[in-house]
């Protein structure tokens, strides 16, 4: 396991802030023993949770162009045929993964190819499982086309808690299956929009692992 680069600044600032709080208590509160140790315990647990949030498990990616890998850790909350209105403007199979604050928050490419579209949309912060969050929340849309001309759309969606989406994808980038495309801070959701003829390999409420679980196959 390693700590994601997006967590470095927050971890340093948090450590300095927590240390300042404890130093203040020790310097200005005469009978600080009980309060001090309670505060120290609380801040230690909070710091461990922040470290846990930015963790990145290390594992080998099994690249297979016949498979569509899961883009994020979490739980499958949507599997349905929908009208995709931003890019394809036709019917697609939507599969959505909800990421709780306890999940790993790295987002990964589901297949290899070339990034054909990447766009950020400002928006609302509805709870991530709300049906309208996919089209009304702050979000980033990325479309990758593989060597066979098949395109899939990945959408990073900010939720009620998540207030910052980080996307590394730019038009023209070469996407490698399983590699990072971005990061969402503090819980959210990722949608995939796939061709209708794919074979789905997951089910509703299934726990999935980004870069490891096979979402569907061609």
Q: SS3 for 146-213, per residue?
A: CCCCCEEEEEEEECCCCCEEEECCCCCCEECCCCEEEEEECCEEEEEEECCCCEECCCCCCEECCCCC
Q: Which helix (H) or strand (E) holds 91?
A: strand 90-99
- Decide if 62 is inside a domain: no
State the catalytic residue, choosing from 96, 110, 169, 188: 188
Q: Are residues 10 and 32 in the same domain?
A: yes
Q: Are residues 50 and 80 in the same domain?
A: no
| 188 among known catalytic residues | yes
Q: Are residues 88 and 49 in the same domain?
A: no
- Decide if 61 is inside a domain: no
Is the Cβ–Cβ distance between 161 and 167 less than 8 Å? Answer: no
Q: Are residues 125 and 38 in the same domain?
A: no
Q: Are residues 185 and 99 in the same domain?
A: yes
Please, what is the angle between helix 33-53 and helix 8-28, to 10°?
Answer: 180
Q: Are residues 128 and 197 in the same domain?
A: yes
Arithmetic mean of pLDDT over the chain: 86
| pLDDT at position 113 over 70 | yes
In this predicted structure, what is the pLDDT of residue 18? 87
- Decide if 195 is inside a domain: yes
For the segment 21-46, the average pLDDT, to the nearest whole number, is 78
**pTM of the predicted model as reported, rounded to 2 decimal places:** 0.80
- Decide if 29 is inside a domain: yes
Q: Are residues 45 and 106 in the same domain?
A: no
Question: Which of 29-33, 58-62, 129-133 is most confident?
Answer: 58-62
Q: Are residues 90 and 33 in the same domain?
A: no
Q: Are residues 30 and 82 in the same domain?
A: no
- The least confident of 20-34, 105-119, 163-177 is 20-34
Q: Are residues 79 and 30 in the same domain?
A: no
| Residue 197 or 57, more confident | 197
Question: Which of 2-16, 34-48, 113-127, 198-212 is most confident?
Answer: 198-212
In this predicted structure, what is the pLDDT of residue 91? 97
Q: Are residues 137 and 108 in the same domain?
A: yes
Query: For the chain, how many structural domains are there in total?
Result: 2
Domain range for residue 43?
Answer: 2-56
- Decide if 150 is inside a domain: yes
Is the Cβ–Cβ distance between 153 and 118 less than 8 Å? Answer: no
Is the Cβ–Cβ distance between 76 and 37 less than 8 Å? Answer: no
Q: Are residues 105 and 210 in the same domain?
A: yes
């Amino acid at each position: 396991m390693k700590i994601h680069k997006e967590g470095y600044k927050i971890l340093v600032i948090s450590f300095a802030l927590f240390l300042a709080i404890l130093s203040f208590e020790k310097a200005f509160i005469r009978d600080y023993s009980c309060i001090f140790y309670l505060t120290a315990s609380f801040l230690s647990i909070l710091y461990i949770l922040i470290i846990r949030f930015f963790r990145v498990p290390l594992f080998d990616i099994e690249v297979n162009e016949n498979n569509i890998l899961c883009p994020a850790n979490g739980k499958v909350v949507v599997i349905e045929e929908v009208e995709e209105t931003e890019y394809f403007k036709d019917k697609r199979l939507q599969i959505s993964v909800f990421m709780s604050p306890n999940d790993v928050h790295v987002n990964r490419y589901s297949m290899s190819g070339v990034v054909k579209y990447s766009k950020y949309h400002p928006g609302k912060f509805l709870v991530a499982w709300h049906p309208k969050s996919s089209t009304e929340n702050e979000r980033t849309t990325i479309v990758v086309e593989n060597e066979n001309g098949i395109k899939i759309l990945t959408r990073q969606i900010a939720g009620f808690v998540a207030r910052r989406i980080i996307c590394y994808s730019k038009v023209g980038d070469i996407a490698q299956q399983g590699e990072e495309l971005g990061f969402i801070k503090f819980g959210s959701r990722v949608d995939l929009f796939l061709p209708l003829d794919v074979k789905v390999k997951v089910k509703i409420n299934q726990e999935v692992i980004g870069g490891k679980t096979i979402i569907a196959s061609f």
